[in-house]
Amino acid sequence: MTVVTSTEALARLVAEARRREYVAVDTEFMRDRTYWPRLCLVQLGWPGTAVAVDPLAPGLDLAPLAELLLDPAVTKVFHACRQDLEIFHRRLGGRLPAPVFDTQVAAMVCGLGEEVSYDQLVARLLGVRLDKSHRFLDWARRPLDEAQLRYALADVIHLCDLYERLRARVLAMGRLEWVHEELARLLDPELYVQRPEEAWRRLKLRSREPRFVALVQALAAWREREAQARDVPRNRVLRDDLLLELAAARPTTAEALARLRRIALDAPQRRAVLEIVREVMARPESELPRLPRPERPPPGLGPVVDLLRVLLKYCAEEHEVAQRLIAGAADLERIARDDRAEVPALRGWRRQVFGERALALKHGRLALAVAGRRIRLLELEPAGPRAGA
């Protein structure tokens, strides 16, 4: 099995790949011991060819691979590409591979399931059962054995077949623009930027008291910078529960911090934490963040959302498209509240498939009925304000 370990061999491989209409791409990586995902293997494939590139090989320069990933004339085919794109976003200096086709997105557009897994899709469309026993191996260890390489290369071999079948199906259904629209969100570089100032949003706050929130924000930003600089998981610096404990305890002296026995920090970290707490405690009230309280849903909104959920399922089945691509739970609530809600379901193809009916149902111009264990839509006389009024 071919494993590329030199820059010269990679350049030759890329020169061949750039003559193709598309190249299947997959990666193996590790991130359980690092902040940034560690790229351990890149698999490239096209009909009749499947090759592994070893990014950990001494002296290997991945610049030729970057040229391929950024080549606008070659489509890069992935399955569930978000994590792959996150890795390449960092490797490519903030740029992303393009153009891209994602077989998971295409499968959802064709109504083959919600976020269907690669092995499930291969079994369903190609009739091939994949061995996934190597999924959780340490891909950073060398040498790689033959069984690992066989497992890794199988992904791009079958990915070529999936791409050709799904692209043909998408084109036959006239839905290529649907795929591109969904991929546009995944190909936004902002999606992969890790901003320490936003890290606090991952935490479940147990209080909205302004100074507590300010402490959580400042401590989470510090932890994120520490984790990035040391390339370790953020919880290796300070666990979530301990960060919240620090924000609640508010120690401003070394003695007070030492009394929090569950919190183990080295001397520079202790000094940094104390400096953060003192700075936040010294802020005037007018400079503290005030989070808006969640709005209570108005009476009657819940049943409307429930009806919209049934309608969504009906429309998704009727048009053979995954529900998640049309609308999520938060979108349904926003539509129930506001005819002009800024949600994808009220724009473009989603409005045609679901949005117009959702507004008609909301305003009494459409009803749901059951006939023979199937949902039926009944058009009614207009009642109440018109959609968008």
The overall average pLDDT reported for the chain is 94
Cα(174)–Cα(180) distance, integer angstroms: 12
Whole-number Å distance between alpha carbons of 229 and 227: 6
Spatial separation of the C-alpha atoms in residues 184 and 304, rounded to whole Å: 31
Percent of the chain at pLDDT above 90? 87
Say which residue, 56 or 298, is predicted with more confidence: 56
pTM given for the model: 0.89
Residue 140 · residue 27 · CB < 8 Å: no
Domain boundaries, the chain: 3-192, 196-287, 301-379
Confidence of residue 389 (pLDDT cuts 50, 70, 90): very low
Q: What is the pLDDT of residue 272?
A: 97
Res 291 pLDDT > 80: yes
Task: Give yes or no for a contact between 87 and 78, defined as CB atoms under 8 angstroms apart.
Answer: no
* Fold that domain 196-287 belongs to in CATH: DNA polymerase; domain 1 (1.10.150)
Residue 309 identity (one-letter amino acid): R
**CA distance linking residue 342 with residue 325, whole number of Å:** 16
**40 in Cβ contact with 66 (< 8 Å):** no
Q: Other C-beta atoms within 10 Å of 58: how many?
A: 7
Query: What is the amino acid identity at position 226?
Result: E
What is the C-alpha separation between 316 and 314, in angstroms, rounded? 6
For 331-339, what is the mean pLDDT? 96
Write out pLDDT tens, residues 147-203. 889 999 998 999 999 999 999 999 999 999 999 999 999 999 999 999 999 999 999
Q: 3-192 is classed in which CATH architecture?
A: 2-Layer Sandwich (3.30)
Q: What is the pLDDT of residues 240-275, one digit of tens each?
A: 999 999 999 999 999 999 999 899 999 999 999 999
**52 contacts 3 by C-beta, under 8 angstroms:** yes
The Cα–Cα gap between 1 and 151 comes to 11
More confident residue, 72 or 374: 72
300 pLDDT band, cuts 50/70/90, is confident
Single-letter amino acid, residue 44? L
Are the beta carbons of 226 and 276 closer than 8 angstroms? no
**3-class SS at 370?**
strand
Q: Is the pLDDT of residue 297 over 80?
A: no
Token pair of 178 as six digits? 């649907």
